[in-house]
Structure 1
Amino acid sequence: MKKIMNAPERFVAESLEGLVRAHEDLVVFGGERKFIRRRHLAPGKVAVISGGGAGHEPLHSGFVGHGMLDAACTGHVFTSPTPDQIVAAMDETDTGAGCLLIVKNYDGDVMNFEMAAEMAASRHAIETVIVEDDAATGPAVRSRGRRGVAGTIVVEKLLGAAAERGAELGALKELGEGLNARIRSMGVALRGVAMPNNPRETFDLGPEEMEIGVGIHGEPGLTRTGFADADAIIRRLGEAILAELPPELLGDPDLRPLLLVNGFGGTPPIELYLAYGLARRFFEAHGIVPVRSLTGTFVTSLDMAGLSLTLALLTPDQLALWGAPVATPALSW
C-alpha cells in the first residue's frame, strides 16, 4: 500500500516529530522522546496521562495540552506503549498531586499501564480509569468488558478539564468510572485498514459489503452485511447504542446528551456531516435531543473508511467540563 513515509520502522517516530514541531507552543517531547507532554506543566495539578498504539491519530498525542492530557505515550502502530514510557511520563509530569492514567480497555494497554503503575507506586500517587464505551462488545460478546473507542475523547476531555480546575485524584477516578455507564459508541467500516508494512488490508470487503461493530485496530466487526444507504447505516448504529444504554438513563431529564460523529481516517467531512445530520434526526425521533456536538476525525484506525457514533449522557456539571477551555493540537476552544 502506498503511504507518505520513508520506512515503516520510522513511520511513528517521524510523525511524532512533525506533530511536536507543528505545535511547539503547546507540546514538547519528554525525556528520551519516550512520550509527548504539554509544554507548560501546572504545579500542584493531577497529571492526566493516556496513550496507546499509533494509528489512532489524533488520539492520544493530539489531545495533549491545557485542559486535557498532560502526557501521551505512543507505541508502534496498533501496539501498546511500553511500561517504561508510561513510568517516564509519570516521573516528568507529576507536580505533586499524583497521576491519573486513562486507559482504553484493550489487553495490551491495560497490562502495560498496570505494570507501569506498579513500577512507580513507591514515588507517585496513582489512580486508573479504564474506558469502556463500545456498544459492540458488551458482556455477552467479550468477557474482558467493552473496548474503549471514540468515547475516550469524552473521558479525556472531562477529566482533563476537572484536573485543570483542581479536582483531586480520588474525585477524578470517581468521575471517570461514573462516565462508563453513560457513554456508548458503535462503528461501521466500508473498507479495511492498510498497514504501513503490509501490502494487504486487514480485512477485505466486497463492493456491496460493510462491517458493523468494528474496533479501532483494524479488526473485523460483529457482523458483515450488505451495503446500505446512509439512513439505514445510521439507524443500525443508533439502535445498537440505545440498546446498550440503561433505560433509566435514557429517560433521565437531568442528563444532557452529547453526540459525537467520528471518522476512522478514510472518511471525508462531507460524509461525516451527512452522518451527523441523520444521527441527530434519529436520536431526536427517540426523544434524545443533543445539546452539544462534535463532528470530525478524532479516533482513527489509520485509513479505514467508516465512522462511529458516540452518545454521552452528561450531568450539567459534566457538560460544563466539556465546554471548558481546551488548547491541544487537535481540539481547541
Structure 2
Amino acid sequence: MKKLINNPDNVVRESLEGMALAYPDLIKVDFDPHFIYRADAPIPGKVALVSGGGSGHEPMHSGFVGMGMLDAACPGEIFTSPTPDQMLEAIKRVNSGVGVLNIVKNYSGDVMNFEMAAELAYSEGIPVFNSLIDDDVAVKDSLYTQGRRGVGTTVLAEKICGAAAEQGYNLQQLAELCRRVNLNGRSMGMALTSCTTPAKGSPTFDLSEAEIEVGIGIHGEPGRQRMSIKSADEITEMLALSIIEDSAYQRTVREWNQQQGEWVDRELIDSPFEQGDSVLAFVNGMGGTPLSELYIVYRKLAEICEKKGLKIVRNFVGSYITSLEMQGCSITLLKMDDELIKYWDAPVKTPCWRWGI
C-alpha cells in the first residue's frame, strides 16, 4: 500500500485539520466530536442542511459545506457511519430555530444513527426532518443496506436543496423538494479496480486485471455481476440502459412526524424515464479515474440519451462521490423541471464546488 498518510488511525482528523487551515473563510471544524460547519452558521431564518457518512468518499460530504449547499457535514471513520452524537452536535450548531433537514444515504448505519440524532434533536425542541436517498438501480438489497443504496443523487440533492434553503424554503418545502429529487434520480456504478482502506492496508475485494464489477457500491459492495473487461462504450451502455429502462420502484420510508413526535411509515413510488423527459446527466469518477476517461463515458451517454428521446439540459462530469482511489465510474440521471433547473443553476461556494459567485 502506498498512501500519503502518517498514522492510519489519524487520517480523518488530519484531513479535517488540513481542510480547516485551507478554507478558514468558508468552514470551521469541531473535533470532539468531528463535524464541519459553515463559518457563518447559523444563518438567521434559514433551514439548515446536514448530511454525513463514512469518510473516503470525498469531496462528498465535507467538501460541500458552504453557501448554497450544506450547513454541516459529519464525517465518520473510513467507510464507517458517523455517530449520533456527531450528528446531534452538528444539528445544534447550525440550527437557527426554523429547523434542520438531514439528507441521509440509504445505508443501515447512516439511517439508524440519523434516526437517533433526529429523536434527540426533537427532544431538545429542534424541528428536524430526515430525507432518504436510495437511487442505486443495481441491486434491491446489498451489504449495509435494506433497499436501494444511496449514491450519486445525494450530491445533486445537496446542491438543489441547499440552493432552495438559501432562497427561504421552509422545512416542509425542503423535505418535499428533497423527496422529489430522490424519486426523480437513478444511478449505477462500476469498478475497474478495488480500493485500499488505510486501516486494512490491502484491497477491499479481489478483482483480476481482466475483470470488472458492474453495479458496485461505493464501499466496494458486490454489484450485479462480475465480467470480463469491456470497452468504455459497452460499459456506458450497460449502466445507462439499466438506469433508463428501470421500472417503477416502490419503497417504504420512515419519516419523522413533527406534530406527533414519532416515526411514521410512508409509501413512495417513483416513475420511470419517458421519451421527452429533460434530464441532468452526471458522470462521476470513483476516485482513481482520469477526467479524460469520464468524458469518453459522457460522450457515449449523450448519444444514448438522444436515441432514447431524453434531452440533457444540464450535465456534470467529475469525481464528486468517490471510493478512495477506486478506478471506475457511476452514472446518474435526474429528471429535471424548471424548479430543479433554477436551483441547480443557483450560486454555490464551498471548498470543492463553486459557481455563479
TM-score (norm 2): 0.89
Structure holding more strand per residue: 2
Structure 2 counterpart of 1:239, from 234, 238, 241? 241
* C-alpha distance in structure 2 between counterparts of 1:279 and 1:171, whole Å: 32
The structural deviation recorded for 1:18 is: 1.0
Which residue does 2:16 correspond to in 1?
A: 16
Q: Which amino acid aligns with 2:304?
A: F
Letter in 2 for 1:74: P
Q: Which has the higher helix share?
A: 1
Matches within 5 A, 1:19-168: 19-30=19-30, 32=32, 34-41=34-41, 42-122=43-123, 123-138=125-140, 144-168=146-170
Look up the equivalent residue of 2:209 and give its one-letter code.
Answer: P
What one-letter code is carried by the residue in structure 2 that aligns with 1:208? A
Q: 2:283·2:317 contact (CA, 8 Å) conserved in 1?
A: yes
1:82 and 1:116, CA in 2 relative to 1: closer, same or farther beyond 3 A?
same
Which residue number in structure 1 is paired with residue 260 of structure 2? Answer: none
Structure 1 window deviating more from structure 2 (123-132 vs 31-40): it is 31-40
Q: Which amino acid aligns with 2:105?
A: K
Q: Which residue of 2 aligns with 1:223?
A: 225
Letter in 2 for 1:233: I
Contact map agreement 1:256 1:316 (CA 8 A) in 2: no
Displacement, 1:219? 1.9
1:83-105 CA distance string (max 9 Å, x none): 00100011110011111000000
Cα gap change, 1:245 to 1:292, in 2 (>3 Å): farther
Q: Secondary structure at the match of 2:342?
A: helix
Whether the 8 Å CA contact 1:87–1:116 is kept in 2: the answer is: yes
Q: Tell me, in whole angstroms, the C-alpha distance in 1 between the residues paired with 2:60 and 2:143.
A: 25
Name the counterpart of 1:189. 191
1:214 aligns with 2:216: yes
Cα distance between partner residues in 1 of 2:28 and 2:143: 40
Identify if the C-alpha distance between structure 1 residues 37 and 308 changes in structure 2 by more than 3 Å, giving closer, same or farther.
same
**TM score, norm. by length of structure 1:** 0.96
Deviation at 1:180?
2.0
- Aligned-partner SS, 2:158: helix
Q: Is the 8 A contact 2:67 2:350 kept in 1?
A: yes
Query: What is the rounded CA distance, in whole Å, between the counterparts of 1:150 and 1:168 in structure 2?
Result: 25
Partner of 1:329: 351
Aligned partner letter, 2:332: T
| Contact 2:107–2:145 (8 Å) recurs in 1 | no
Deviations 1:154-201 (A, max 9, x none): 111111111110000011111111222210011010001111122321
Q: Is the 8 A contact 2:245 2:273 kept in 1?
A: no
Gaps of 5+ in 2: 249-269
CA contact (8 A) 2:244 2:272 kept: no
Q: Do residues 174 (structure 1) and 179 (structure 2) align?
A: no
2:291 aligned residue: 269
Residues 126 and 204 of structure 1: is their aligned pair in 2 closer, same or farther, counting only changes over 3 Å? same
Contact 1:182 1:245 (8 Å CA) reproduced: no
Q: Sort the Cα spacing of 1:127 and 1:331 in 2 relative to 1 into closer, same or farther, 3 A.
A: same
| 3-state SS, counterpart of residue 257 of structure 1 | strand
* Mapped contact 1:34–1:88 kept (Cα < 8 A): no
- Runs of 4+ aligned residues of structure 1 deviating over 4 Å after TM superposition are 139-143, 245-249
1:130-160: CA deviations, max 9, x gaps? 0011011237999822110111111111111
Q: 1:308 aligns with which of 324, 330, 333?
A: 330
Aligned Cα RMSD in Å?
1.8
Distance 2:232 2:34 in 1: 42
For residue 70 of structure 2, give the secondary structure of its aligned residue in structure 1. coil
Identical pairs, percent: 47
* CA–CA distance in structure 2, aligned partners of residues 263 and 46 of structure 1: 31
1:214–1:222 CA contact under 8 A, matched in 2: yes
Deviations 1:57-85 (A, max 9, x none): 00000000000000000000000111001
Shift of 1:332: 0.8
Moved more, 194-203 or 142-151: 142-151
Q: Distance in 1 between matches of 2:145 and 2:93?
A: 35
* 1:31 Cα deviation after fit: 6.7
Shift in Å, 1:205 = 1.1
Residue segments in structure 1 that go unaligned for 5+ positions in a row: none
Distance 1:33 1:27, change over 3 A: farther
